[in-house]
Amino acid sequence: MSKVTKAELNGYFSEISALLLCNEKHKKGFIMSLRNDIEAFLEENTEADINDIKAVFGSAEDISKGFMENTDPKTIAKRIKIKKYILAAVAVAVLIYALFVVFSLIDVHEEAHGYIEEGVMMIKIVTGGDFI
């Protein structure tokens, strides 16, 4: 039986997946292929541990670097651009939510504590008919 736990393997694949800049379809296909290769390796080397896997297949950084070298640069640039747009959209959404919260708190504060309006009041004296 292998010394590698399922959690160690899943962590290894998660590290690799996080470093890959491609669409989910390509990422899943690559990870599945790598998983099959590692499972075949573990069947042949029952005493292998996670360090042995990293020695044979490479670290997560090495694997992702090799994958990226074999990937079309346009695909990588597109993926980076999409990530930037998503990050910008999230930042705008957080900013709008923060402004909403601030203005809501100001409104609640004014309702709870009241506020003063200054103005000129004109009183008509009933007897004389003149304004003071």
Q: What Å distances lie between residue 112 and 35, 99, 108, 109, 115, CA to CA?
A: 61, 20, 6, 5, 9
Does residue 107 belong to any structural domain of this protein?
yes
Asked if residues 61 and 20 have their Cβ atoms less than 8 Å apart, the reply is no
Residue 61 confidence (pLDDT) above 70: yes
Q: Are residues 9 and 63 in the same domain?
A: yes
Assess whether 60 and 77 both reside in one domain: no
Per-residue model confidence (pLDDT) at position 93 = 95
Q: Helices 24-44 and 50-57: crossing angle, nearest 10°?
A: 120
Overall domain count for the chain: 2
pLDDT above 80 for 128: no
Based on the domain organization, do 66 and 78 belong to the same domain? no
Indicate if the pLDDT at residue 114 is higher than 70: no
Both 2 and 32 in one domain: the answer is yes
Domain match, 54 and 10 both: yes
Q: Which of 17, 45, 71 is the last residue of a domain?
A: 71
For the cut 60, the answer to whether the pLDDT of residue 57 exceeds it is yes
Q: Domain span at residue 16?
A: 1-71
Measured between alpha carbons, how far is 127 from 92 in angstroms, rounded to an integer?
Answer: 63
Query: How high does pLDDT run on average in the chain?
Result: 80
Q: Do residue 20 and residue 76 come from a single domain?
A: no
Q: Is residue 28 part of a domain?
A: yes
Q: Is the pLDDT score of 71 beyond 80?
A: no
User: Which residue in 62, 72, 75 sits closest to 19, CA to CA?
Assistant: 62
- Are 28 and 77 found together in one domain? no
What is the mean predicted confidence (pLDDT) over 98-105? 88
Q: How confident is the model at residue 49 (pLDDT cuts 50, 70, 90)?
A: confident
Residues 62 and 8 in one domain: yes
